[in-house]
Structure 1
């Protein structure tokens, strides 16, 4: 199997390096390529770099060229796009994004560069998984359970329009209580912008912290992680709100008499 891994924290981040090292131990891995931003690009979402050239830099490579690391002066989506669309001269069988430092649950998935990297893989026809550690300490825990999940994927047929979003509690391996299949929860609005003055007395602004969970019901990712369980949420790429289609179609008939009129 040929794997491409990426993230939004940067190629040097401890999460992706822990995953990169762990995956090398799997006998079924034929090629393992890490391609990730050259700096932290958290919350880059699905942005692509279109007006500037992208540069890949080889960071390390095994003697047989089957295990390699690259950095890119772009976004997580750029990295996966380059990796799948020919910049590295191979076609991965799967895209894995992470291990992210910090949770990607609820509304956060819309901003997340980690989830966006997996989404780009799915857009390009590759089964894709995003994995995040809900903290900054126990990356080995996330890697340990990811390998177990990965080794069982042959028993799961992923839908062609979905990715798996995994969130792991920031706990030692022995304190993880299990795995729960969840839906996305929902946060309250983020807290207020933090305004300060720079050394020249000019105002600067920081985006406020994320809001607390507004929907953390028992079947949500928030609830599972808080209770010590690994959360796995299937995310669909199709954002169409199908329940509203019929009502909109009826509403649109109001404009039928205006078609062709000046």
Structure 2
């Protein structure tokens, strides 16, 4: 691998053969030296889970014989992939980690559940600048061509300017032709949530089971949110931090005199 080009770690949560990561690998090969460590099967909704009670297998794999990148298929979670890459597999610390391109939205509250974003957050914890990319199309046949220009632009800007310690970017892309995407908006995370329901059924053996379903509810009317930007035809970029401390509540909590 060249020392002149940036070293870019690529991962995802849809699995190493998913069209989204294959598109992302192609874009990154035009920017730097690419090293791929991704799950061997879909890990959507895995969040920041790590494997602690089982073994992890991570094997070299060749998917595209004409492509220059090194690739490893991992039995673990997206966060496992980043941990293994940074601690065991990479020749040096990468200049950037990109995760995705996810099939489906990771805007608003979805960032909490997202394996795509958790891989990016894990990279951030390791001190690696990181970006999670998602396209608002859940189809396996999703068209990633309109995303490529925006993914490339954002990656190049991050490499040129770097990111503050503890901050990663959550990028979501609307499902529109490239010429209909209005541009890029820097946003905050919308105050939205899922109203979950469980479809209760009984299997032929008489045992009850459940399917999770529900609908997405956006209660945020602000015009500075990721959900607003995406509905208006913009790519949304939310700077995301993994410090979950509610700093604004510390003083009030001190006033409770819990320490007395």
Query: Same fold by TM (over 0.5)?
Result: yes
| Kept after mapping to 2: 8 A contact 1:36/1:70 | yes
Secondary structure in structure 1 of the residue aligned to 2:116? helix
The residue aligned with 2:229 is 224
The residue aligned with 1:193 is 198
Equivalent residue runs for 1:94-105 within 5 Å: 94-105=96-107
Cα-Cα RMSD: 2.0
Aligned counterparts of 1:254 and 1:62: Cα–Cα separation in 2: 59
Decide whether aligned partners of structure 1 residues 178 and 8 sit closer, same or farther in structure 2, where only a CA change above 3 A counts: same
The Cα offsets for residues 151-185 of structure 1, whole Å up to 9 and x where unpaired, read as 23345341111101000001111111111110001
| Kept after mapping to 2: 8 A contact 1:180/1:229 | yes
Unmatched runs of 5 consecutive residues or more in structure 1: 257-262
Q: Select the residue among 47, 51, 60 that pairs with 2:62.
A: 60
> Is the radius of gyration larger for structure 1 or structure 2?
1
Aligned counterparts of 1:194 and 1:202: Cα–Cα separation in 2: 14
The residue aligned with 1:180 is 185
The residue aligned with 1:150 is 155
The Cα offsets for residues 39-80 of structure 1, whole Å up to 9 and x where unpaired, read as 111111111101212111111188999611111101000000
| Kept after mapping to 2: 8 A contact 1:56/1:70 | yes
| Kept after mapping to 2: 8 A contact 1:216/1:222 | no
Aligned counterparts of 2:129 and 2:258: Cα–Cα separation in 1: 42
Decide whether aligned partners of structure 1 residues 139 and 209 sit closer, same or farther in structure 2, where only a CA change above 3 A counts: farther
1:255 to partner: Cα distance: 4.9
Secondary structure in structure 1 of the residue aligned to 2:82? helix
Paired residues, number: 252
Aligned counterparts of 1:236 and 1:178: Cα–Cα separation in 2: 24
Equivalent residue runs for 1:232-247 within 5 Å: 232-247=237-252
1:23 to partner: Cα distance: 1.7
| Kept after mapping to 2: 8 A contact 1:190/1:210 | yes
Q: Select the residue among 120, 131, 146 that pairs with 1:141.
A: 146
Aligned counterparts of 2:181 and 2:67: Cα–Cα separation in 1: 36
Aligned counterparts of 1:188 and 1:159: Cα–Cα separation in 2: 28
Asked if 1:19 is matched to 2:21, the reply is no
Decide whether aligned partners of structure 1 residues 157 and 213 sit closer, same or farther in structure 2, where only a CA change above 3 A counts: same
Q: Which runs of 4+ in 1 moved over 6 A?
A: 61-65
Decide whether aligned partners of structure 1 residues 121 and 255 sit closer, same or farther in structure 2, where only a CA change above 3 A counts: closer
